[in-house]
């Protein structure tokens, strides 16, 4: 990132975005915790993206998930297609190549993916919001490995949200009742080799994420780019021990746009690398569907109205899934 604001200029930018150590918050001194909260808040106000080390997820868990994901995507297309679930708005199971597109774009993204949801559903929840996870008889360990990584990323996400709550002058546990048993999604993405000129399509068109925060496990190849406040693209190259954690639109709405949901994309590689696939594993941290996204009072200046109308997480999710092509309106 070129010329970072003074509030974050002291941070390491080796990944292209600011780097923070989560262990400072989870197990550090009071001074380290306070510094982490201040730095994370400044990063999310200025950039919206951070590279997080010290998250505590064992590399073995990540490596095993990547191995299993690659084995699944290597299955024949007709086998993978058996595991599509449009009746669940493509929120579970396999989503085929070309199904999803960025908001306000007609060009389909050059990717296929597998989606896993919550296994610890809150008591009394509307089960229409929590469809069952799909199982793959051909790869029985896929469910086991994905559930393991899901729980690890959910734990890390809860720590990040505790720090965000403190930055916003909320109780540290403010987000806990909303994200415990929330409608989060783990997505295993395969960007296949590019075999012909892709015209206007890229691996993932420029977009902002829907959810509260996204936790991205280091991808197998480069391509992620983040737009800065000047409208220029910065390449993000996180190290294997880092998670890339960014603000989503739900958190931006909740904070009256004080925390930034930053535009990002996954670009196609140079032509001499078209034959190389790319894999990535984002965890989209969603709250329970009935959480209000009305702007927090402390984020709305006296005498002003919130910048966006109040809605719930569930209503907003449905609206956005229609915009990106995962919910199809009936004719």
Considering the domain boundaries, does residue 193 fall inside one? yes
List, for residues 209-259, the tens digit of each pLDDT value. Answer: 999 999 999 765 567 899 987 788 998 988 889 999 999 999 999 999 999
Considering the domain boundaries, does residue 3 fall inside one? no
* Strand runs labelled E in the chain: 19-21, 49-53, 93-95, 112-116, 185-191, 204-207, 213-217, 224-227, 233-235, 243-247, 264-266, 278-285
Considering the domain boundaries, does residue 222 fall inside one? yes
CB-based contacts of 147, cutoff 8 Å, min separation 6: 116, 119, 133
Using pLDDT thresholds of 50, 70 and 90, give the confidence band for residue 104.
low
- Of the two residues 228 and 115, the one the predictor is more confident about is 115
Considering the domain boundaries, does residue 260 fall inside one? yes
- The pLDDT of residue 331 is 39
Considering the domain boundaries, does residue 7 fall inside one? no
Considering the domain boundaries, does residue 5 fall inside one? no
Considering the domain boundaries, does residue 1 fall inside one? no
List, for residues 26-47, the tens digit of each pLDDT value. Answer: 999 999 999 999 999 999 999 9
Report how many domains make up the chain: 1
Flag whether pLDDT at 330 surpasses 60.
Answer: no
Domain containing residue 195: CATH number:
2.60.120.330
Domain span holding position 240: 19-323
Bridge partner residues of 27 (DSSP): none
Considering the domain boundaries, does residue 330 fall inside one? no
Taking residues 293-299, what's their average pLDDT? Answer: 96
- The pLDDT of residue 100 is 64
Flag whether pLDDT at 201 surpasses 70.
Answer: no
Phi, psi of 213, rounded to the nearest 5 degrees: -140, 155
3-state secondary structure of 151: helix
């Amino acid at each position: 990132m070129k010329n970072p604001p003074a509030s974050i200029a002291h941070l390491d930018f080796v990944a292209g975005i600011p780097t923070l150590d989560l262990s400072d918050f989870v197990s550090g001194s009071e001074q380290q915790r306070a510094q982490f909260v201040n730095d994370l808040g400044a990063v999310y106000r200025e950039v919206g993206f951070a590279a997080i080390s010290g998250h505590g997820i064992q590399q073995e868990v990540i490596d095993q998930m990547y191995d299993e994901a690659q084995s699944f995507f290597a299955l024949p297309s007709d086998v993978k297609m058996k595991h599509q679930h449009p009746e669940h708005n493509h929120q579970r199971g396999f989503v085929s190549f070309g199904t999803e597109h960025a908001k306000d774009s007609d060009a389909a993204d050059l990717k296929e993916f597998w989606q896993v949801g919550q296994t610890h559903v809150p008591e009394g929840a509307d089960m229409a919001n929590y469809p069952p996870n799909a199982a793959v008889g051909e790869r029985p360990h896929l469910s086991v490995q994905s559930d393991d990584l899901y729980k690890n990323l959910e734990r890390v996400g809860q720590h990040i949200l505790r720090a965000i709550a403190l930055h916003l002058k909320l109780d540290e546990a403010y987000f806990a009742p909303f994200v415990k048993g929330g409608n989060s999604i783990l997505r295993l993405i395969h960007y296949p080799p590019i075999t012909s000129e892709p015209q206007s399509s890229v691996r993932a068109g420029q977009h902002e994420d829907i959810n509260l925060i996204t936790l991205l496990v280091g991808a197998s190849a480069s391509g992620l780019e983040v737009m800065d406040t000047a409208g220029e693209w910065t390449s993000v190259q996180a190290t294997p021990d880092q998670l890339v954690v960014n603000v989503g639109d739900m958190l931006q709405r909740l904070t009256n746009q004080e925390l930034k949901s930053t535009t990002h994309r996954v670009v196609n590689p140079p032509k001499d690398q078209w034959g190389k696939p790319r894999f990535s594993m984002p965890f989209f941290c969603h709250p329970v569907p009935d959480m209000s996204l009305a702007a927090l009072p402390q984020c709305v200046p006296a005498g002003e109205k919130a910048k966006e109308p109040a809605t719930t997480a569930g209503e907003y999710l449905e609206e956005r899934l229609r915009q990106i092509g995962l919910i199809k309106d009936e004719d």
